[in-house]
Amino acid sequence: MPITTTCPACGHQQATPGSIAGPVNCASCGQAYEALSAPPTSRSSATKTAISATATTHDGPASATGTPQVSRPPGSPPELLDRLPKPFITSPPMIAIGAVFVMLYGMVAFGVVTTLNNRPDPEPLALKPREFAPIAPEPPKPAGDVPKPSDSASKKEAAGKADRDKSPKDTKDGKAQDDKEKEKAEKERARKAGGDKSEPPKPAPGDAPPKKEFAIATRPAPTLTPKPAAPKVTEWLSLRGSPGDSEFEIEPAGLMVKVPGTLHVISPVFNLYNSPRLLTDAEGNFTALVKVVGRIQPGTVPLDFPIKPKDAKETPKFPFTFQGAGLLVWQDEMNFVKLERAAQFDGKRVPMVLLEQYQNGQPINGKLLPAKDREIAQPPAKDRDIDLTLRIIRVGPELRCSYSNDDGKTWLEVKRLQAPKLPSLVKVGVSASNVSTKEFVTRLEGFELTR
């Protein structure tokens, strides 16, 4: 920056560069005088002085361009990066918006899944009986129609007639031949009638030799007495029972059971025994099995308790809904065993296999087995039903309860119950339960009882 200097001889002022320090010639009188550098007065000079002072204070090395470098604490970001704006995606407003979006998405997904799980069952197909046309009888044949004889019969009849028309010659040879034939025929008849065991007459020289007949003596085949098979009960009509207000309908595929949307249980606790059931006698050891088919949807509206507590103002409701069907081993109302495929809803629908045993009116050895992936090998049973085949085998005082999800190829054991007080003669069959305001419709297939 130029500075103003004054000549000491003539007093002339002239501008000289600020970087020049030394003798300067006066433009007016030509006298030489010594010019001194003026102190910096501009903003840039002050800035440079401040930078120099800072650099001197921190003992920082100067850059190649003469600008001193300011030292900063180790690990701190460069000064210019601190001044850059932060990304918008990581700003607090965007984080709040993202959290709200995730929460809304979860609520919508939960509503969709709940709606799918609680959708109503499709109405069962009504099977209409087929009508068959009667078989028309064959029209009667006219009396005048006589079947024509075949060609072979006609030829035989003509040959016999020709033989009858022929007569032996009236000669001695012909008469002798006739006499021999008559005598031979009489002897043969006498031998057969009187049981003559003498040798048959020898043929005449002119007769043809008789044909030899052979009889092969065969030993009669031994009669094998088949081993009696174990009696089975495979027909629904062989079971007996009263459905009450429920319905049993025999279909080609099995037995359709419809239970109204009221409380239907076998419970000594509630003194209620109105579950529909069909039973038959079974003595000693036996094997009973049945397949429960279709999706079980117990509904979401619970029923009222059948018994109102004394200190309660209102009748409480069941904390869940429940529907199930399966096998029943029945001694009486206080002693029985149930193995059911069922589903329960207490905020979430849970398919399960339920095993109950009552002895002297008290529940013992009950087991609730959810049908999840860890118990069902194939296909997966998570959040949906699988058709299950239930089985109870009695061996002495033991009842072996199990189920299969592949039509009896493999069996998964639920539990082995000990029932030493169970009599030899019991009743075995099927039953259904409903603890819901929704009607329970299910189908049972392939019931078998092997004694």
Among 43, 58, 73, give the residue marking a domain's end.
58
Percent of the chain with pLDDT over 90: 29
Work out the pLDDT band at 438, boundaries 50, 70, 90: very high
Q: Return d(Cα 302, Cα 313) in angstroms, integer.
A: 18
209 — phi, psi (to 5°)? -65, 140
Q: What total number of domains does the chain contain?
A: 2
Assigned domain for 76 exists: no
Residue 87 domain flag: no
- For position 11, what pLDDT does the model report? 75
Burial 97-109 (b: 16+ CB within 10 A, else e): eeeeeeeeeeeee
Residue 355 lies in a domain: yes
Last residue within a domain, chosen from 58, 73, 94: 58
Count of C-beta atoms within a 10 Å radius of residue 354: 20
Banded model confidence at residue 279, pLDDT cuts 50, 70, 90? very high
- Whether residue 182 is contained in a domain is answered as no
pTM exceeding the 0.75 threshold for the entire prediction: no
Q: Is 312 part of any domain? A: yes
Residue 204 belongs to some domain of the structure: no
pLDDT at 137: 62
**pLDDT band for position 54 (50/70/90)?**
very low
> Does residue 262 lie in a domain region?
yes
The DSSP output letter for 84 is S
Tell me the two tokens of residue 237. Answer: 């009509």
Q: What is the CATH number of the domain that holds 430?
A: 2.60.120.200
Residue-wise DSSP of 264-276: B-EETTTTEE---
Neighbouring C-beta atoms of residue 376, cutoff 10 Å: 20
Q: What domain range includes position 15?
A: 2-58
167 secondary structure, DSSP code: -
pLDDT for 59 beyond 80:
no
Structure tokens at 428: 């075995």
Determine, yes or no, domain membership for 311.
yes
What are 222-271's pLDDT values in tens digits? 565 555 555 555 667 777 887 788 998 888 888 999 999 999 999 888 88
**Cis previous bond, 209, omega within 30:** no
Query: Of the segments 39-53, 142-156, 170-184, 272-286, which one has the largest average pLDDT value?
Result: 272-286
Taking the C-alpha atoms of residue 225 and residue 374, their distance in angstroms, rounded to an integer, is 49
21, 40, 58 — which closes off a domain?
Answer: 58
- Between 128-142, 166-180, 371-385, the lowest mean confidence (pLDDT) is in 371-385
Does 382 score more than 70 pLDDT?
no
